Amino acid sequence: GKLGTRMKIGALPKIFIGDTAMGAPVEEMTEEAPNLVVQNGCWIPPRSRKVVATQPLDLNGFGEGALVEPSQALQTTKRVSTGKVLVSGVGTIGQMAITHLSDHKQWIEEGTVLGIIEPVTEIKEGDTPVAV
């Protein structure tokens, strides 16, 4: 059913329970925008910024760069967000800084989706592309 997907960011074709995708392996979630997923569960102290390990994602297909579009579900349920982050379009991303705004510590479990990775070509229309 399409009903449950209406609130999602972008056009992510997954239904979320809380902030964890339902048992779908990461390989199957890359049709549109790959998910940035927490590798190991960890506590985030109140009102803090912390770098967490993420399941490695290959960014080589993204050209000049990619944009992390933060998960709204995570922001709503735990007040945790990556913010919008530009990442290089080369190599592998294996960690991400997250900001936590609530007054009590939060457990971020393994498999939590922090956001999705999108190409930044549309955003940089005004810029002159660098010749490769």
H-state helical runs in the chain: 72-78
Q: Are 131 and 64 in contact (CB under 8 A)?
A: no
What is the per-residue pLDDT across 44-86, written as a single tens digit (0 to 9) for each?
A: 999 999 999 999 998 888 878 899 999 999 999 999 999 999 9
pTM above 0.75, yes or no: no
Exposed e or buried b per residue across 84-97, where buried means at least 16 C-beta atoms within 10 angstroms of its C-beta: ebebebeeebeebe
Exposed e or buried b per residue across 47-59, where buried means at least 16 C-beta atoms within 10 angstroms of its C-beta: eeeeebebbebeb
Going along the chain from its start, the domains and CATH numbers come out as: 3-119 (2.70.40.10)
